[in-house]
Structure 1
Amino acid sequence: MQMTERFLIVDDDPAFTRVLSRAMTRREFEVQVARSAEEAEKLIQSWVPDLATVDLKMDGDSGLILIPKLRQQNPAMKILMLTGYASIATAVEAIKLGATQYLPKPADADQILTALNKIEADAEMEVTEQPMSVNRLEWEHIQKVLNEHDGNVSATARALGMHRRTLQRKLSKRPVKR
């Protein structure tokens, strides 16, 4: 019988995975790292985690593809979608697909564990009076339309009336601050 909780890190950033893996090992988790959704799929055939952090944007498949597969292997698994490309559209999709929580990068081990262990929603959460910037609204709209077109950049560019290269350039940048 397994005594130590198993923690899966799915991320293509070697520095981040090394630091997080060490931090979780020090907290007495049994840790495995996968550098892609495809690698994680193979790993979970023989090693099923209790907790997982999944990066949204990696080479190959998006981390969103992996969430239902993780959930299928262990319905009780706590899954955190962790991304440097946070948007409302991807947060909603991650939760709909079965993620427990969604957290923008950068995040440290304590923030990750706090998010994974937060069970109840916070109805008392502070609502900011500051509206989103125009640049952030543009980013959110692009993400929404991209999601509606299943990640197809050409179809999204057509829907937005934008040149495909312009859209690719906007997507390659980090999201703007709120």
Structure 2
Amino acid sequence: MTEELHPDLGPDRTLLLVDDDEPFVKRLAKAMEKRGFQPVTADSVAAGRALAEEAPPAYAVVDLRLEDGNGLDVVEVLRERRPDCRIVVLTGYGAIATAVAAVKIGATDYLSKPADANELTHALLAKGEAFPGPPENPMSADRVRWEHIQRVYEMCDRNVSETARRLNMHRRTLQRILAKRSPR
């Protein structure tokens, strides 16, 4: 059944998933397996590089920021060991500079979190050089702001005072924002 869903997958269905967010990578591995891939996971640059050198996969999804370094190091090893590998760099810290760097060293595509299994499958199996269309459900300005606040909060090791200082925001205002659910 999965072969009918994704005829572009080809005979080699190996997929390397490199991300240090354990619950996310487990869910993603299950979802990609249902789509016909044969996923293996790594939670660090070192583990990702080791798997890429040992058995270079046909496909890879690599998180940009990992606890022990930069996911682009894994992309470089994948490109050296298997030039035809289709690689998607995935990150919660999307920036034009890192997207350009990822593509320059050989990534097929670059997606910002949150990205789901359908988006990743589409990016991994996309053919040609066509530009992607605009997203069907782009994030609202409130959601973008909330994501940025969450990113800075995590970078400050969940320290409200330090986060408020870096965002030039009153501490109580930040506490109210953090107590609310994420906007759509």
CA RMSD of aligned residues (A): 2.5
> Are 2:73 and 1:84 equivalent residues in the alignment?
no
Letter in 2 for 1:10: V
Tell me the TM-score normalised to structure 1 length. 0.67
Letter in 2 for 1:75: P
* 1:79 Cα offset (Å): 0.3
Paired residues for 1:167-178 under 5 Å: 169=166
* 1:28 Cα offset (Å): 2.5
Change (3 A) 1:22 1:90: same
Change (3 A) 1:3 1:115: closer
- In the alignment, what sits opposite 1:114? 122
Q: How many residues align?
A: 133
CA distance in 2, matches of 1:118, 1:124: 10
Q: Which runs of 4+ in 1 moved over 2 A?
A: 119-126
CA distance in 2, matches of 1:124, 1:40: 28
**Is contact 1:8-1:34 (8 Å) kept?**
yes
- In the alignment, what sits opposite 1:130? none
* 1:75 Cα offset (Å): 0.4
Change (3 A) 1:121 1:38: same
Gaps of 5+ in 1: 127-132, 140-164, 171-178
- In the alignment, what sits opposite 1:96? 104
Letter in 1 for 2:125: N
**Is contact 1:53-1:82 (8 Å) kept?**
yes
* 1:123 Cα offset (Å): 5.2
> Are 2:37 and 1:55 equivalent residues in the alignment?
no
**Is contact 1:4-1:28 (8 Å) kept?**
no
Deviations 1:59-94 (A, max 9, x none): 011111221111111100000000000000000000
The one of 50, 70, 76 aligned to 1:42: 50
CA distance in 2, matches of 1:62, 1:46: 20
CA distance in 2, matches of 1:125, 1:82: 18
Change (3 A) 1:28 1:89: same
**What is the aligned-residue identity percentage?**
38
- In the alignment, what sits opposite 1:8? 16
CA distance in 1, matches of 2:58, 2:113: 22
Tell me the TM-score normalised to structure 2 length. 0.65
